[in-house]
Amino acid sequence: MKSDTPVLLRHFINGEFVTSPAEFDNICPVDGSLISTVCEADRQTVDIAVAAAREALKGPWAGMSVQQRSQLLHKVADGIQARFEEFVAAEVADTGRPVHQARSLDIARGIANFRTFADLASTANTDAYEMPTADGLGALNYTVRKPVGVVGIISPWNLPLLLFTWKVAPALACGNTVVAKPSEESPSSATLLAEVMRDAGIPPGVFNLIHGLGANSAGEFLTRHPGIDALTFTGESRTGSTIMKAVADGVKEVSFELGGKNAAVVFEDADFDAAVAGVMRSSFTNSGQVCLCSERVFVHSSLFDRFVTAIRQKTEALKIGFPHTDGVDMGPLISHGHRDKVLSYYRLALEEGANLITGGGVPYFGDARDQGAYVQPTVWTGLSDEARCTSEEIFGPVCHIAPFDTEEEIIQRVNASKYGLACALWTTNLSRAHRVSRQIHVGLVWVNTWYLRDLRTPFGGVKLSGLGREGGRYSLDFYSDIANICIKL
């Protein structure tokens, strides 16, 4: 993956690629090589991008019908499809994820995001009510959707194109203009998307891309900018809190999808093999770097020992390697910095008294991967629910398995977390599935599956896991100002 002549990734503002004075390096987590250098937006660059977006609100974009915007977004989806393998290569280089995952999940979902929200916007319904009046003639009340204005978008590094387009697509479908900042750890696919936007005929200034870091850089300049009308962010809970404080004075609309310390619960009547496979997937997909991963696994006492043995065997059989290797299950973490964080929890777990079932360190390969950001997938038992390693989000390939005895007990233990994003239940008892799901205080409950969701349904968390809902009409509601019109008849 080494390159003797790394490319320069530039900002995309008002329909053109532009540079700024400062730059930073984009490092491949597979082998530590330099992928590209990236322009870092200063305050002036952000000002220019926001100004371009505000001006575009008055241009051809404002005069387009919903159907015309929808057609353009389908052209964007077509453009991603036409350059599918380029997007795969960009995602793999930035993240080190296995190629098969980038092909089957990340890029395919990016395409689906544009098509889904284009269709939803073009078929979205509004409300209409007739009401009586004292004179007997009545009145008609109906609602209309208007663009919010300029939307600031900040997306994370763990699923770069998927989560970037998850926000960009509905924002544009609703007639807004955007200034979007991808994570500094994964800027490549967003830059490719800017090329696709231009080639698809999206008017200048409608989609603006800025690169940079967070504090005292592009992220902070964007969140504090007075020209931003609404802000959507996916990332750490602490960053979400900082952003909320920054936008409070302007009373701006915000949508936050933040961290999680998600649970998987395996009841005594579960399909054992399906539950083992499901927990393996929900704990170790993308090296555990998914906000929806199961870091807390609760297994009924009658199955506990057997389940731990099965998870250990399957975890030790995972193939860790280069992303292009056939059959590889797991790649590196996103960076050496993030690896240091995860390894600090590996050490902490032992200090807290965990039983190390498997993993807990750094694999040795004897090749270029030793310069990368790999860690071993790790399983613990023996910690209390109050331990830091069972209550703080680690965001790595880890799970702690604990026994439970009763339904009432496990509902209380799952809900005791300060997070509330998702939960996976494994049971063949349909009544229990419905009963327990309603009592779990999270935004999303899966039963006998994980990471399966119709894009038309709501997504979001409670407590420290976020604010608001996106997906389907819920995204259309966030990215629209819904106004009421009352006509006296």
Q: Is 291 a catalytic residue?
A: yes
Q: Are the CB atoms for 39 and 159 separated by under 8 Å?
A: no
- Report strand pairing: 16-18 vs 11-13: antiparallel
- Give which of 168, 160, 178, 155 is closest to 118, Cα–Cα: 168
Dist. CA 95–CA 91, nearest whole Å: 6
Catalytic residue among 257, 295, 393, 470: 257
Q: At what angle do helices 407-415 and 430-439 cross, to 10 degrees?
A: 30
Q: In what order do the strands lie in the sheet with 22-27?
A: 7-9, 34-40, 22-27
* Helix, strand or coil, per DSSP, at residue 221: helix
How many residues does the structure list for the chain?
489
CB 35 within 8 A of CB 188: yes
* Residue 315 contacts residue 377 (beta carbons within 8 Å): yes
Q: Give the whole-angstrom CA distance, residue 4 versus residue 27.
A: 13
Give the N- to C-terminal CA distance of the chain in Å, as an integer.
69
Q: Contact, 315 vs 269, CB < 8 A?
A: no
SS3 50: helix
Q: Which two tokens stand for residue 468?
A: 């608001």
The residue to which tokens 């409608």 are assigned: 206
Continuous segment of H or E residues that includes residue 307: helix 304-316
Query: Are residues 398 and 330 in contact, defined by beta-carbon separation less than 8 angstroms?
Result: no
Nearest by Cα to 289 from 455, 424, 422, 157: 157
Q: Distance between CA 22 and CA 420 in Å, rounded?
A: 39
Strand partners, 180: 153, 209
> Can you say how many angstroms the Cα of residue 468 is from the centroid of all Cα atoms in its chain?
14
Q: Residues 28, 291, 293, 423: which is the catalytic one?
A: 291
Asked if 293 is an active-site residue, the reply is no
Catalytically active residues are 257, 291
